[in-house]
Structure 1
Amino acid sequence: MRISIANRQRAFSLPRGWLRRVCKGILTDLDRKDAELSLLLVRDDRMRVLNREYRGKDAPTDVLAFSMQEGPPIGRGEILGDVVISLETAARQAAAHDRTLTQEVAHLVTHGILHLLGYDHEVSPEAARRMRAVEITLLRNLEGRGLIPPGGLPAPLPEG
């Protein structure tokens, strides 16, 4: 498993070792032990540029995922792609949801990795519920490993 981490902001400090363990825990739980991915931490101004360029939305967002493969979900042993997280947005969301920054970042890393593996919460309410259920399971596993504090998990999405 190869995980590349680049921090392009200075406002928030998260240990690279912790970020790497979070990514490895998620990929292990998803049976992707041979996968490679890149994690990039940025400020809102950089995220806004990326969001405008790739999604046509002129505002920062919390997380973007750039898959290295188009089409159906990829096999094992391949490069998954890049997960980009705005730590400024993550910090605001953490405060709004009464979470720690580590809880929020772990959720965003999880969310981004699932997108790289083909999950898409925007295609249907059922797809969103499935993706959220997997996120909750993965985050509980991170709690169990002591990588994030207990509590602060996102709520399951309602049926219907």
Structure 2
Amino acid sequence: MTRRHIATQATKGCFSADCTAGGSHSGVQALSGDIPAKGGHSWINSGTQGRSVLPLREGVSPAHDRYRVSLRQDLRPAPFPGRRLKAYARAALALLSTSGADVRVRVVGDAAIARWNREYLGRDRPTNVLSFPEADGVPALGSCVAGDIVVSATTCLSETGGWKEDPEARVFFFVLHGILHLAGYDHEGGGAQARRMRRKELALYRRVLDEEGRGRSR
């Protein structure tokens, strides 16, 4: 699949979340965001209801084919290895019971995300996560999830400084928010829609981390 750089495209769909984090993920305030016009970007580096979350250890898994998650880290040195972040994302996609996924995650710093936040949303400041759905409209329930997610590791880790989780798990919280936007969840209008996304976000985050913790203890 051809990866086109974001700067060469007119934005058709972008979600931005600004999060104020408390001492733990149970205390994170509701995420707020902005949506301009719609559509996809294919520019990031290429790279279950009732069922257990997919294993987070290395090894061949069907999830690697069905739920494609690629990761690019622009920061040097990289803030974390990245393998677990990809595994967390695949586990969350499996729990969403999607038919498949092609999600590209790019980990950047504040300067880069501020530039894209300004270009696509008109906000001249860093944010924690931007997501770019690949298709127009709201995805059908269970359909393939595809798109690009950009996170600022600097902002994400700063906003979760009081959390006990390790850096990859903390950044995953914001990647998960982006995944839910790609899957059709939204909080822009507030009310029941925002509460539904919030409940799903916290439930998935806790379950993925709980399953990963049990896997490590085996």
Tell me if both proteins adopt one fold, taking TM over 0.5 as the criterion: yes
What is the root-mean-square deviation of aligned Cα atoms in Å? 2.0
More helix by share: 1
Is the CA contact 2:79–2:153 (under 8 Å) kept in the aligned structure 1?
no
Where does residue 98 of structure 1 map in the other structure?
163
- Whole-Å Cα distance in 1 between the matches of residues 201 and 142 of structure 2? 20
Contact preservation (8 Å) 1:18, 1:147:
no
C-alpha deviations, 1:88-121, integer Å up to 9, x for none?
Answer: 00111011x5353333212101100001111111
- For structure 2, the residue ranges without an aligned partner over 5 or more in a row are 1-66
Unaligned runs of 5+ in 1: 149-160
Q: Give the letter aligned to residue 152 of structure 2.
A: S
Task: Say yes or no: does 1:81 pair with 2:150.
Answer: no
Kindly report which structure 2 residues correspond to 1:137-156, keeping only aligned pairs within 5 A, or say none: 137-146=203-212
Q: Match of 1:98, as an amino acid?
A: W
Query: Which residue of 1 is the match for residue 190 of structure 2?
Result: 124
Structure 1 stretch displaced more, 28-37 or 51-60 = 28-37
1:1-160 to 2 correspondence within 5 Å? Answer: 1-10=67-76, 12-32=78-98, 34-74=100-140, 78=144, 80-95=146-161, 97-100=162-165, 101-146=167-212
Contact 1:52-1:58 within 8 A present in 2 as well: yes
Query: Radius of gyration: which is bigger?
Result: 2
Q: Distance in 2 between matches of 1:44 and 1:67?
A: 22
Please say if residues 129 and 174 of structure 2, whose CA atoms lie closer than 8 Å, have aligned partners that are also in contact.
yes
Residue 12 of structure 1: CA displacement? Answer: 4.6
The answer on whether the counterparts of 2:145 and 2:183 sit within 8 Å (CA) in structure 1 is no
Q: TM-score, normalised by structure 1?
A: 0.83
- The alpha-carbon deviation at position 125 of structure 1 amounts to 2.5
Shift, 1:75, TM fit: 6.7
Q: Between the two structures, name the one with larger relative contact order (CA 8 Å, sep ≥ 6).
A: 2
Identity of aligned residues (%): 33
Write out per-residue CA displacement over residues 5-60 of structure 1, whole angstroms, 9 at most, x where no aligned residue.
11011255222211111111010000125211100000000000010111110000
Distance 2:76 2:121 in 1: 25
Alpha-carbon distance, 1:76 to partner: 5.7
How far off its partner does 1:80 sit? 0.8
SS of residue paired to 1:145:
helix
